[in-house]
Structure 1
Amino acid sequence: MSKEDRKAASTAEAVSAHYSRQNIEQIILSELSKSGKDINNLTVDDLAPMDELHTRGREATASLAALVGLHKDRRVLDVGSGIGGPSRYIASKYGCKVVGLDLVSEHCTAAKALAKRVKLDDRVQYRQGDATNMPFDDKSFDVVWTQHSSMNIQDKEKLYLEMYRVLVTGGRLVIYDIFAGADEKTPAIYPVPWAKDNSISFLIRQQDARHLLKKIGFSEILWQDMTAASIEWIKQMIKKVQQSGSSTGGGLVIRNAIVGPEWPMLIKNLAQNLEENRLAVAQGILQRR
């Protein structure tokens, strides 16, 4: 193994360790039970407060999915699928067959179990793997979908090349991600949800990502800065929790149970980063030429 490969493997181990949690399914079921849900008859919507951990949660997933033109014959790959929230929503709403790929084995285990609980295990499957070396054949998918997943991936070109490779000609790439702020002289404040420090955080600016994607061979259909909407969503989520004092107030309490007691501080730091233009949130739809 080369020095570069060893470094990449070490980084992957650190990223996996950052996200790894034991008994994720049981934590979720316990919190849902406390909030009054029947854990033996769960729906995709019941899971939404804790299985869509990106900014704007289900709102972000639903609004972006509506722009893509999904239907039951689409083969969708969710890169960085986490515990499966977006993939289950897409499969449930549009009838698509969805494959989720995630680096963290515990995420894949929990995602599979939750899919079975909401009776979607015939339409979604999950695989543990590296997004820069995907275990899929060329032109395997009609849509590649990714939400808040590239922040921990250093080699963005390799990531985008793999996304290009597994897409059919004319296929769509859907991105909803966190980027560095426009001014590189104002670095992010840590810790944040995806990293305790910058050792596993690899952020690029929106304009650099767009340039790289076009260079690889994607045509841009849509690109929208969602920073202001993300800031407002975080503020509203925190406000609802403060008012209700329960997990129903935007999902913050349940997220705290999954991520850990530091979650309120992490989300506060994220909001500050966004407000001070240290970070940005954007979404895009691109097409493989």
Structure 2
Amino acid sequence: MSQEDHKLRQRIRYRHVEKIYMDLKELGYHDNDPLKVTDLITLDQWHYFGTAPVDAAMKLLEIREGARVLDVGAGIGGPSRYLAHKTKCHVTASELLPDNHRVGQDLTSRCGMTGSVKHVCGDIITTELCNEEFDHVTSIQAIYYVEDKPRLFRQLYNSLKPGGTICLEEFCRLKDVEDADEQAALDFFLLCVNTLPTHQDYKHLLEDAGFEVTVHDISEAYSEYTYGRWANWDGHRDKYVRLYGEDMVDGWLKFIVTTKKLCNEFGVVGGGRFVARKV
């Protein structure tokens, strides 16, 4: 296991990947029960705004029935399953961490979706992808973990059919870091990489790989989301402690406080949605 892989495992979400099974028990499911996708999607979207970013990608890329889609940084497969369920497309869910991959495979199987969602585990940069294999690529809050983004975008470019499209939603740096408090918060947030690109950095990286790019700045929505999540935390804490224990809750709260500072008090981090077409 690489050092980067090891560091990424330390993020609070990934230390508690089995949490999803506790959540399912709260809904009345037992081990190995078949799952309803409509129940699971309330629990398995490991990013901001639930299924809304996936809906945005469907609309912006015009994903149709039968399309072949690559989901980069699939986590436990939430966006991949929702995308396949909504559009009847075929999704390859690519995930770096073995524990996330294992849980994702189990959930997909229990949803009866192995025919439409294929899980692959490994570094997307070194994963063997066929040239011109996919119609679309999607990724939500995962690319910022990748150190060698130029190589990644070249890999994705080659994997797309002519005219193929990408929709990426990512955290973006809005300004230069100004003091030690901002730097400490950003370092804690990034965890396993050293820098966070700006909106223009992402645009240029995609253009250098050969894409035509449209940038949507969604920083205001990220600011509202991170503040609201922090402001409403006390109303959920007792339930979370009962379900998941103090370790997870304390770690989760530290992350929530940090992202609220970065997106609101410091104004260092925002969000971007990048739509790109292979030309």
Same fold (TM over 0.5): yes
Change (3 A) 1:154 1:273: same
The reply on whether 1:82 has 2:44 as its aligned counterpart is no
Deviation at 1:152, TM superposition (A): 1.8
Q: How far does the alpha carbon of each residue in 1:94-145 deviate from its partner, in whole angstroms, 9 at most, with x for none?
A: 0010001111011111001011122212110111111222221111111111
Change (3 A) 1:71 1:61: same
Aligned counterpart, 1:234: 226
Q: Could you list the runs of 5+ residues in structure 2 that have no partner in the other structure?
A: none
The reply on whether 1:52 has 2:45 as its aligned counterpart is yes
Q: Residue 57 of structure 1: SS of its match in structure 2?
A: coil
Change (3 A) 1:180 1:253: farther
Check conservation: 2:230, 2:257, Cα contact below 8 A: no
Aligned counterpart, 2:273: 283
If the length of structure 2 is used for normalisation, what is the TM-score? 0.85
Q: Residue 185 of structure 2: SS of its match in structure 1?
A: coil
Aligned counterpart, 2:29: 38
Deviation at 1:168, TM superposition (A): 0.9
Aligned counterpart, 1:148: 141
Check conservation: 2:223, 2:263, Cα contact below 8 A: yes
Letter aligned with residue 272 of structure 1: K
Change (3 A) 1:193 1:126: farther
Deviation at 1:18, TM superposition (A): 4.6
Change (3 A) 1:216 1:68: same
Distance 1:216 1:209 in 2: 11
Change (3 A) 1:240 1:189: closer
1:10-29 equivalence runs, <5 A: 10-16=3-9, 18=11, 24-25=17-18, 27-29=19-21
| Deviates further, 204-213 or 182-191 | 182-191
Check conservation: 1:193, 1:267, Cα contact below 8 A: no
Check conservation: 1:91, 1:123, Cα contact below 8 A: yes
Q: How far does the alpha carbon of each residue in 1:34-64 deviate from its partner, in whole angstroms, 9 at most, with x for none?
A: 2x34353532232234321212222222233
Deviation at 1:154, TM superposition (A): 1.2
Change (3 A) 1:170 1:177: same
The reply on whether 1:73 has 2:66 as its aligned counterpart is yes
Q: Could you list the runs of 5+ residues in structure 1 that have no partner in the other structure?
A: 1-7
Distance 1:181 1:123 in 2: 38
Aligned counterpart, 2:152: 159
If the length of structure 1 is used for normalisation, what is the TM-score? 0.82
Q: Residue 115 of structure 1: SS of its match in structure 2?
A: helix
Distance 2:74 2:243 in 1: 16
| Deviates further, 77-86 or 267-276 | 267-276
Check conservation: 2:226, 2:263, Cα contact below 8 A: no
Distance 1:233 1:32 in 2: 25
